[in-house]
Amino acid sequence: MNRPGNKGFTLIELIIFIVIGAIILPAAFVAFTSAIQHFSTPDYYVKARFYAEQKMEELTSYTYTAVPASNSDVPYTNYQRSWNISLIDSSLNVSGSDVGYKRIIISVTMPDGAIYDVSTIVTRRPKS
């Protein structure tokens, strides 16, 4: 019996609520799981940048003639770091001869497969 002032939901209102929820819930679930999967991506980039800058500091601490050859290593589990050192001319084109400029490119491959690159140019410095 329905008495005046008796408030509640009818069966039809509950069914409509369930149907609308069944439509909205999967879309929200997909968006949420996608966000969770990419949650660690910023952390990957921070670590990759640290590993690249760490190696760059090491390589640029050498004198021009002592900069070691290209190579690669694994600075941390699931990260791959490689560096390429090439002779370049004053127009920044790869050169076969040493005219006093070297370009160092460090690439760090992150666990998700993305690659973070850092590069710099070192020059032959005059003796002080």
Please state the domain extents for the chain. Answer: 41-123
pLDDT band at 128 (very low <50, low <70, confident <90, very high): very low
More confident residue, 100 or 117: 117
Q: Does residue 105 surpass a pLDDT of 90?
A: yes
0.75 exceeded by pTM:
no
Tell me what pLDDT residue 127 has.
Answer: 57
E strand residue ranges, the chain: 71-76, 79-88, 101-109, 115-123
41-123 topology per CATH: Pantoate--beta-alanine Ligase; Chain: A,domain 2 (3.30.1300)
More confident residue, 80 or 31: 80
Q: Which two tokens stand for residue 128?
A: 């002080």
How much is the mean pLDDT over the chain?
Answer: 85
Q: Does residue 125 surpass a pLDDT of 80?
A: no
**Considering only 14-18, 38-42, 88-92, 102-106, which range has the smallest mean pLDDT?**
38-42
Tell me what pLDDT residue 106 has.
Answer: 94
